[in-house]
Amino acid sequence: MVAALIDPEDFNVEQATKVGKTVEKLGAGCVFIGGSTIADQAHLDHIVMSIKHETSLPVLLFPGNITGISQHADAILFSSLLNSTNTYFIIGAQAIGSIQVMKTKLEAIPMGYLVFGDQSTTGFVGQVRAIPLDKPGIAVMYAMAAHYLGMRSLYLEAGSGSDKAISSEVVSAVRNNYPGLLIVGGGITSPEKASAIAHAGADLLVIGNMLQTNDFENRLATIIKAVK
């Protein structure tokens, strides 16, 4: 399955809604809404409401901070950035945001979030000690820690716009051990990359940056076709 990631910082409501309708037509399974630098929660709310209104896709929040919560979504990926060096991103933001999540009655999906490589905004903002892209063993260590901590989903992140996506070796090593929902994103820009990651055992591929390009419809169509 493919998830389309919309960062509210990069779209106005009209553009985001248009993208939502297009990805639904192309066969995406859900929409993720989030980003590392969301400041305007009213804008986030408007985008979530509009996509909910204009499409039938499930809308899941993918927050980088406590500003990424909207009561209008279907669920929230309640994540811990496990390889951050700052406890705020591991448990601090989650504690502060938890009361709002409880009040909104959003479904909270527990998720371990692992950032690979060292050039992404999410890695910089989240103060990560990045997992090397060529070290499947380290990825498996974190994946199993997430599993034993009860996290029933895990996101392997190469960073938005990254040149290198998560390798099929890393995905396959994690898949062979981690039983939960395996989400992979960052730099998936071709059907070949998407197909390799899907075959290696990812359950959900996340495509973000591409949605801002003019020809994304054709490119995303080939990726969805390759994955399916």
Q: Using CB under 6 A as the criterion, which residues of the chain lie in contact with ligand 1GP when the complex forms? A: 5, 122, 157, 160-162, 185-188, 206-210
Shortest Å, Cβ 113 to ligand 1GP: 9
Of 161, 73, 77, the residue nearest 120 (C-alpha): 161
Of residues 15 and 103, the one with the C-beta less far from ligand 1GP: 15
Of residues 103 and 142, the one with the C-beta less far from ligand 1GP: 142
Shortest Å, Cβ 210 to ligand 1GP: 6
Shortest Å, Cβ 162 to ligand 1GP: 6
Of residues 66 and 204, the one with the C-beta less far from ligand 1GP: 204
Of residues 53 and 155, the one with the C-beta less far from ligand 1GP: 155
Instruction: Check: CB of residue 48 under 8 Å from CB of residue 59.
Output: yes
Shortest Å, Cβ 116 to ligand 1GP: 10
Shortest Å, Cβ 103 to ligand 1GP: 26
Residues in the chain: 228
Of 103, 105, 106, the residue nearest 33 (C-alpha): 106
Please, where are the H alpha helices in the chain? 13-26, 41-54, 87, 93-104, 121-125, 136-148, 168-175, 191-199, 216-227
Of residues 8 and 186, the one with the C-beta less far from ligand 1GP: 186
Name the DSSP class of 58. -
Q: For residue 53, what are its two tokens?
A: 């209104």
Shortest Å, Cβ 42 to ligand 1GP: 23
Of residues 83 and 99, the one with the C-beta less far from ligand 1GP: 83
Long-range contacts, 85-93 (Cβ 8 Å, 24+): 85/127, 85/128, 85/129, 86/126, 86/127, 89/126, 89/127, 93/65, 93/66
Instruction: Check: CB of residue 142 under 8 Å from CB of residue 128.
Output: no
Q: Which residue is nearest to ligand 1GP (CB)?
A: 185
